[in-house]
Amino acid sequence: MSDHAQGGHGTLKSYMVGFLLSVVLTLIPFWIVLGDVMDSTGWAIAIIFTLGATQMLVHIHYFLHVSLKVEAGWQVMSLGLTVLLLVIVMAGSIWVMFNLDENMMPAHEQIERVRNLP
């Protein structure tokens, strides 16, 4: 018998709980953005990112059935490696975009700099 057949599968109740949590965690950011309920953009972004991370945990638990039990050590290690690689890629992308934005020069500043050359 394959490992897949021996693995634990979720019940209809657990799938419904996961689905409802996913829907709620999706609708709240839409409500925050489209309803314009927050004055601070920074807080809105922080809440949306937190809800996104929570939704990732809901998907991992309810749909992928990854647990943090000692018996599931390989699952936890692969999940940890995935999170590490995701953090590296996202941090690197943000770093590159920040540096690109910082190093870009608007055209009018460049024209003025050329005009003022000795």
Res 5: pLDDT? 56
pLDDT digits 0-9 by tens, 35-68: 989 899 889 999 998 999 899 889 988 988 877 7
Question: Is the separation of the CB atoms in 83 and 57 below 8 Å?
Answer: no
Number of Cβ within a 10 Å radius of residue 25: 19
Domain that holds residue 87: 69-118
pLDDT at 82 exceeding the cut of 50: yes
Number of domains in the chain: 2
Same domain, 46 and 1: yes
What percent of the chain shows pLDDT beyond 70? 83
Say if residue 38 is in the same domain as residue 51: yes
Written as six digits, the tokens of 68 are 């943090």
- From CA 44, how far away is CA 24, in angstroms rounded? 16
